[in-house]
Amino acid sequence: MPPALTAARAAPLHVLEVVGNAIVGGMESWVERFIERMPRERFRFTALVPVEGPFADRLRSLGAEVHTVPMADDPSWVSLQTTLALVQSQLVDVLHAHLPRAHVLAGLVGRLAERPVIATLHGREVGMLDLEVHRATGSHLCVVCRPSHRHALGLGVRPEQLSCVPNGVDTAMFQPRLRGHRTLRESLGLPQDATLLGFVGRLSPEKGPEVFLQAMHVLARRHVGAHAVIVGDGPMRASLIAQAEQLGLEGRVHLIGLREDMPAVYPELDVVVSTSHSEAMPLALMEAMACGLPVVATRVGGVPDLVQDGHTGWLAAPGDFHGTGQHCATLLADEALRRRMGRHARERVVARFDLGACVDGMAQLIERLAAPANAEAALAMPTRQFLRQS
């Protein structure tokens, strides 16, 4: 057995977070909150990221030691050697990967170093690369919603190598606040009584921001005073600006880029909209609901587990901009309905999706896989068993 997995433990478990991206996104936020909330008497963290930048700096501010190494779908020998040396010299107990390219690196190094590997899959489906790495290296897959769990089982992932730990939100950080003076409206040059919809997410095709603009076009016909803010950045930014102009929404749709003060931004919104074509358990919706906001979202992935249609908000089919716009119009026309749905949204997130439960679930999983007996059993599985499954 490797030295880090022997005998009774007095020191905290050493977890290497292998993160395949370093932008501002839901996955990165999840990793930050996870490291921040995990009990220091039981765990310590090192992080491996592809590039230096604000994300790496934030992880360091949380007490994690951070290293950079190139990550690719086919990792170089330098990346493998560097990561293996880090795991062995720092006595890492468990590798925890996020995104397929990180899973490849962690899976191979974990196999070489005889350390257990967990891959948290933040998306709706198990991708082919994640599945191949799992079958080849025996990594443990952790999904964040029930549809993803069913999908993994349907692909032949064995139940003992699969866990479901739903995403959670910090309900103390994200909570309703008295609006008072609406500084967001002031910064946008809007009247203080203007109604304001929000889209929060990466401006990329899977998030469907173009559908949000089409829904806003539908809404504008019924609610002439409505405005919208798009919070985030990404490759579709320029095309969305052009689309807003084509739809005649100039001056009514405001792209405000990335924001680091979202706990203060959400309470200034009236409704939050998610028009994603694919999701698992989106953090932006959780954060909005924790802040007491009703939501309108597409019926994809784990979203129906989060949003109770007609109770905490409304659900629409993917791409249904007309239905999405109509639901938004209904909410903006009825303040009492918005308040009631927002109150129910907050209650549901506090009861079912608080970050504490997510952290506890991951802590138990890491400790279980790091236990010597479990680690030996997982690492002793013959390679031919992986080949048969594929």
pLDDT digits (tens, 9 = 90+) for 348-373: 999 999 999 999 999 999 999 998 64
Mean pLDDT of the chain: 90
Length of the chain (residues): 390
Region at 257 (left for phi over 0; alpha for psi -120 to 50; beta for the rest): left
Average pLDDT rounded to a whole number, residues 7-21: 83
For the purposes of burial, counting CB atoms within 10 Å of the CB of 141, is it exposed (0-12), middle (13-18) or buried (19 or more)? buried
Predicted pLDDT at 385: 31
DSSP string of 89-153? HTT--EEEEESHHHHHHHHHHHHHHT--EEEEE-SSS--HHHHHHHHHH-PEEEESSHHHHHHHH
Return the C-alpha torsion angle 363, 367, 369, 375, nearest 10: 160
Question: Any idea which of 80-84, 221-225, 236-240, 286-290 has the lowest mean pLDDT?
Answer: 221-225
Cα–Cα distance measured from residue 22 to residue 50, given in angstroms and rounded to the nearest whole number:
7
Does residue 380 carry a pLDDT above 90?
no
> 209 near 231, Cβ under 8 Å?
no
pTM: 0.84
| Cβ within 8 Å of residue 79, ≥6 positions away | 69, 70, 71, 72, 105
Does residue 102 carry a pLDDT above 60?
yes
The percentage of residues in the chain with a pLDDT greater than 90, rounded to a whole number, is 82
Predicted pLDDT at 123: 86
Does residue 8 carry a pLDDT above 70?
no
> 44 near 12, Cβ under 8 Å?
yes
The torsion angles phi and psi of 262, rounded to 5 degrees, stand at -60, -35
- Say if strands 13-19 and 140-143 run parallel, antiparallel, or are unpaired: unpaired
Does residue 155 carry a pLDDT above 70?
yes
Tally: H helices and E strands in the chain: 17, 13
Predicted pLDDT at 321: 97
Instruction: Find tokens 């839901």 and name the residue.
Output: 26
- Reading the block at residue 100, the tokens are 């397929």
* First CA to last CA distance, the chain: 28
Domains of the chain with CATH codes: 3-168+355-389 (3.40.50.2000), 183-352 (3.40.50.2000)
Higher pLDDT, 117 or 26: 117
The torsion angles phi and psi of 39, rounded to 5 degrees, stand at -65, 125
Cα–Cα distance measured from residue 247 to residue 216, given in angstroms and rounded to the nearest whole number:
9
Taking the alpha carbons of 305, 309, 310, 312 in that order, is the dihedral positive or negative?
A: positive
> 342 near 294, Cβ under 8 Å?
yes
Question: Could you count the other beta carbons within 10 Å of the beta carbon of residue 245?
Answer: 11
Predicted pLDDT at 379: 44
Predicted pLDDT at 374: 46
Nearest to 24 by CA among 206, 313, 339, 258: 258
Instruction: Find tokens 């409304």 and name the residue.
Output: 314
pLDDT digits (tens, 9 = 90+) for 260-300: 899 999 999 999 999 999 998 899 999 999 999 999 999 99
